Amino acid sequence: MGERLSVLCKNCLFTEEFELGKENESEYSIQELINNFIDDKKVKKSILKRSKYNIPILDMKHEILICSKCGNMKGKTVIEFADGYITRYCCEKCGHELESFDYHEIRKAACPDCNEKALMVKEHIFWG
C-alpha cells in the first residue's frame, strides 16, 4: 500500500513523480529486490553483503529523499536490516548524503532546479 505523488514547481515547471509507501520485501529474492528497486552500486553491495550473512530485512519502503546542501530530490527505496543498517544514498549532483523528507512539508522545500520555494503536490494517488 502506498501513494504516488506528482510534484511540480509553480515557478520553473520542474516536475517529478514519486512512489511512497511500504513494500512487502518477502515477495522478492535479494536479486529481484536489487534489480527492481536499487540503482546505487554501493547500496547494492551493502545489501548483498548482508544477504551473504543472512541478515534479515526488517522494513522496506519507498521515500522521498532530499539533499540538504543543494536541494536535489529523489525517490529511493530505503531498507532497514536487523543489524541496524539502513540504506543511505548520496546526492547525484553534489555527493552530499540524502535525508528522508516528509512530503507534507513540500511547500517549505526549495525547488531543485530554480531554488524557489514554489513546490506543490500536483497529483496524489493511493495504490495498493
Domain ranges of the chain: 2-127
**Predicted pLDDT of residue 25:** 81
Mean pLDDT by 10 residues, the chain (128 residues): 91 94 86 92 94 94 95 95 96 96 92 95 84
**Predicted pLDDT of residue 8:** 96
**Predicted pLDDT of residue 28:** 86
**Helix 30-37, helix 41-52: angle, nearest 10:** 170
Query: Side-chain half-sphere of 87: how many Cα atoms within 13 Å?
Result: 29
Q: Which three cell numbers stand for residue 66?
A: 532530499
**Predicted pLDDT of residue 128:** 67
Q: Exposure of 66 by Cβ count < 10 A (0-12 exposed, 13-18 middle, 19+ buried)?
A: buried
Q: Using CA atoms, how far apart are residues 35 and 52, in angstroms rounded to an integer? A: 17
pTM: 0.88
